[in-house]
Chain A
Amino acid sequence: MPTADQPDRPWLIRTYSGHSSARASNALYRDNLSKGQTGLSVAFDLPTQTGYDSDHPLARGEVGKVGVPICHIDDMTTLFDGIPLDRMNTSMTINATAAWLLALYVATAERQDVAPGQLQGTTQNDIIKEYLSRGTYIFPPEPSMRLTGDVVAYTVEEIPRWNPINICSYHLQEAGATPVQEIAFAMATAVAVLDSVRERDDVPDEAIGRVFGRISFFLNAGMRFIEETCKCRAMNAIWEELGRERYAIDEAKMLRFRYGVQVNSLGLSEAQPENNIVRIALEALGVTLSKEARTRSLQLPAWNEALGLPRPWDQQLSLRTQQILAHETDLLEHEDIFDGSHVIEALTRELGDAARQELQKVLEMGGAVAGVENAYMKEALVASHARRVRAIESGELTVVGVNRFREGVASPLTERGQESILKVDDSAEREQVERLRAFRSKRNAAEVQAALRHLAESLANGASVVPASIRAAHAGATTGEWADTLRKQFGQYRAPTGVSRVSSGTTSESVETVRKRVDDLAEKLGRRPKILVGKPGLDGHSNGAEQIAVKARDVGMEVVYDGIRLTPGEIVQSARDEGVHVIGLSILSGSHGVLVIDVLEGLRQEGLQSLPVVVGGIIPEQDASELSAAGVARIYTPKDFNLTQIMDEIVDVVARAHG
């Protein structure tokens, strides 16, 4: 029983961070630890997450941008320099290349004389939500599930305190999921993982309880914090049911639903960004109030989330928010304050029942893997997000400062423009590439080749890839070499975009007006206006592109949308071959500088310089004026929430360019 004198221990307080280089991130981590942070949460850059070395053409503009670049063992030892790994709890947001980063972590520990068995932490390692939301997948679903299992099989024996997989409903909500979808799709993912692990020869039947017990979850918590509390409680119950009924587990300790949380960012606004400080604190309540459903660890985004990357001060404010909640309030001094509340109970039951039904539906179609391949889950998310976007546009859903209560004085927080976000120095990429090349030239090439051959063999014979990967890590193989070895064996995958059957919803007068304008424009052009919605680079943020594509179709345009991760060259080629009237690029990862210019240059080379280009995403003001000067016709950022109006303006852009 917690009391005022002996309150419960607070959750793990973390900040998701990493940028520029292993050295810079190491300094950041040490600084955060000295400020009272109790665990590490590593953000990797997109090339590392998608299995490319920093000098790969696809990595251009992305190195060190949204996370730390890790190409080889030296990068990893630098990242944890002076941080004793036997006493650290490290969470790594890594998925397609999880087995590799785990191998680098183990190898780094070994170099610190720490045995793998002493390590504690988490590899996210949930590939299903990558296809549905996050976008850093590489291989097709089936071999990817095998890799997931490889990590589980290895850690359950060798690193018993490791969470081999962190099943994420967090990212589903960020892609528009309702609470019911969040619960159902996450549970379907867990079932897919457990079922496939159960079938493995290298995991004995008796181990399934331990595997079940090591599976943790990563949840989201939005503004409707009472509902969110109930969502967590419903997941508690469903998880236990699954354990008992499907996997015949009855040990209470194994059945416990363990989860970490990052609170919702999708609802954090660019307009009046200081409002986000309050939103973040309220969102944190939803997953801490109920003791029975309290999160084990918490990460809070920063107030300037929709502006760009947070600076140390911004992250500090989020850290303080957690500390205030944990140490100034009486939150931790009580039993579950909702026990006996019939309101909470009823809502929990309602969410749980709806989620069980949805889970059953996915299981009946063949489970989460089938639900990825046949696009069912992705379409469901795009449709939910479309409803949300429409509700904001119509005012049905209030977002203070965005679609209501907009008048106010200017925010002093953003007075200094560019200085209110972290700017990653462009020299970070150059220096990382130099270090990588130096590393490659000094390693023993024969040893690397032998280790990669060994890796290929273990891929072919079905053994866990982790031991072979640890050997490759010590030998000096790189992230790109590791991933290429797997690409050769498994091939690459492109997931369904989920947009084709989704509608942006009922029409309104303003939609009708734009439709009429599109029809008139079609007459003038001789054929229907055709738009290419393009996602250049490694950026996986697809929400904006998807909603734009759906809306453009619904106002009467013909829309080509090929999904995420295309090169500027591929986009230019597609624009030419498809005969489009306008290109719309969506970039949120911060690499717009390089990528937009590359597209414009590619168009010039094809003689298509008159083809108008509009750009949307996280584009800081100063960059926006540079892009305009380079020839971009319009630029949109999160504050432009009215999609109908955006379409209206695109009609203007096309009419002018082809007039």
Chain B
Amino acid sequence: MVRSRSPVSRLLSGLSAADRSAVSQALNLVDDQRPKERAAALELLDRLEQRDDAGGAVRVGITGAPGAGKSSLLNALVETLREQERTIGIIAVDPSSQQSGGALLGDRMRIGFSARESGVFLRSMAARDRLGGLADATYASVAILSAVFDLVFIETVGVGQSECDVARLVDSLIFVAQPGAGDTLQFMKAGILELPDIFVVNKADFGATAERARNELIAGLGMASERDGEGWQAPVILTSARDESGIKELAEAIDAHRGWLETSGELPVRRARGRLGFVRDALVRRYGEYGLDHIGGGAALEARVAEASEYSTFRLVHELGSEIEEALRRP
């Protein structure tokens, strides 16, 4: 007889076996705010992150204006990646209603069901109370999907805040623009042109206007390309989810970027930066800069995060949070 194991162990072995029910339950668990469940979630995430060695899943963010074609593109991409027999987890984030707290997680259907067999898993999530950003559970959910699938995609509607949020939890960020919408201009104005690793101009089937948008973007990038000293030249790819042109190139660009992250040693740097960013953000949101100062401020936090490499990101938030709370309680 096998000894009955803890629910977390059961979930872990389910995840190792890529059992979809286990994936779903794990995602539910990390979203659960009840104390007992939160404790179990922390245990799960600790043990997951320990197993997540240097490389692991390729984590990709897809962002861009509403209707740019992110879902359609993802659908086409998924088909190509499935042909290579790679497995895919997707998190699609939609905004929550400020009034009711509810959310319509809609029009996911572009990611066709025929694709959603064993190799593809899709979870829709609401952004909750974070205007334009991502719910905390999104970060944990990426960790879970990363443990199971070869690639993990996160689709969010780009409205400024979410690019920064997403950039923190992925290895490669794709920005999707559409012709004639002035997306690129707005993007440049918002000063976040440095974030994306791959630019896509979708709806290439529009013809000349798509070409024009691409050239605009290349010109804009030329001005902001200081960071290319690092050795990665963000490509601008013309795609059409409609006639599926450029999809292979996009898939190749994702792989190329990952290759570059690995050979340049940038991958661990990025992940560490993302981890620090997430921890800092989570703490500041809960306790403010004032709270953070109670454990020594930003610099101290950076050191603490670097030290505690055996802690999962989520445990770290939890532990540091308790510390701040305690400090705040002291007279």
Contact = CB atoms under 8 A, between A and B. Distances in A.
Given A374-B67, A576-B24, A559 B104 contact: yes
Interface string B188-201: 00000000000000
Contact of B102 (A496, A557, A606): A557
Interface string A563-587: 1001100100110111100000000
Contacts of A333: none
A497 B67 contact: no
B33 A527 contact: yes
B287 to A, nearest CB: 22
A558 B100 contact: no
A577 B24 contact: yes
Interface in A494-515: 494, 496-497, 499-500, 507, 515
A117 to B, nearest CB: 39
A633 B133 CA distance: 36
Interface in A509-525: 515, 518-519, 522-523, 525
Interface in B94-114: 94, 96-97, 99-110, 112-113
A560 B105 CA distance: 5
Contacts of A570: 113, 116
A522 B113 CA distance: 29
B20 interface: yes
Contact of A553 (B25, B28, B104, B112): B104
A659 interface: no
Nearest to A496: B107
B124 A527 contact: no
B32 to A, nearest CB: 4
Contacts of A175: none
B122 interface: yes
A562 B124 CA distance: 11
B109 A563 contact: yes
B21 interface: yes
B123 interface: yes
A494 B106 CA distance: 12
A559 B103 contact: yes
Given A500-B104, A554-B102, A562-B108, A527 B20 contact: no
Nearest to A140: B242
Contact of A560 (B116, B124, B242): B124
B283 to A, nearest CB: 22
Contacts of B107: 496-497, 500, 563
A496 B107 CA distance: 6
B33 A559 contact: no
Interface residues of A, number: 42
A556 interface: yes
Given A528-B126, A576-B20, A578-B123, A556 B28 contact: no
Contacts of A494: 109-110, 112
B104 A556 contact: no
Contact of A526 (B27, B34, B124): B34
A579 B106 contact: no
A107 to B, nearest CB: 33
Q: For A562, A566, A567, which residue has the most chain B Cβ atoms within 10 angstroms?
A: A562
Contacts of A287: none
A374 B69 CA distance: 11
Interface in B29-67: 31-34, 37, 67
A468 interface: no
A549 interface: yes
A573 B104 contact: no
A40 interface: no
A579 B123 contact: yes
B187 interface: no
Contacts of B109: 494, 497, 562-563
Contacts of A526: 31-34, 37
A561 interface: yes
A588 B113 CA distance: 23
A648 to B, nearest CB: 14
B97 A553 contact: yes
Q: For B20, B21, B102, which residue has the most chain A Cβ atoms within 10 angstroms?
A: B102
A607 interface: yes
A549 B104 contact: yes
A558 B105 contact: yes
Contacts of B25: 579
B121 interface: yes
Contacts of B31: 526-527, 579
Q: List the 3 shortest-distance A-B pairs measured between CB atoms, nearest first.
A: A526-B32, A553-B102, A500-B106
20 contacts: A519-B101, A525-B32, A527-B28, A528-B102, A549-B106, A553-B102, A553-B104, A554-B102, A555-B100, A556-B102, A557-B102, A558-B96, A561-B104, A561-B106, A562-B108, A570-B113, A574-B116, A577-B121, A578-B105, A607-B21
Given A554-B97, A558-B105, 6 more contacts: A374-B67, A528-B101, A549-B104, A559-B102, A561-B104, A561-B105
Interface of A: 140, 374, 494, 496-497, 499-500, 507, 515, 518-519, 522-523, 525-528, 549-550, 552-563, 566-567, 570, 573-574, 576-579, 606-607
Interface of B: 20-21, 23-25, 27-28, 31-34, 37, 67, 94, 96-97, 99-110, 112-113, 116, 121-124, 126, 128, 242
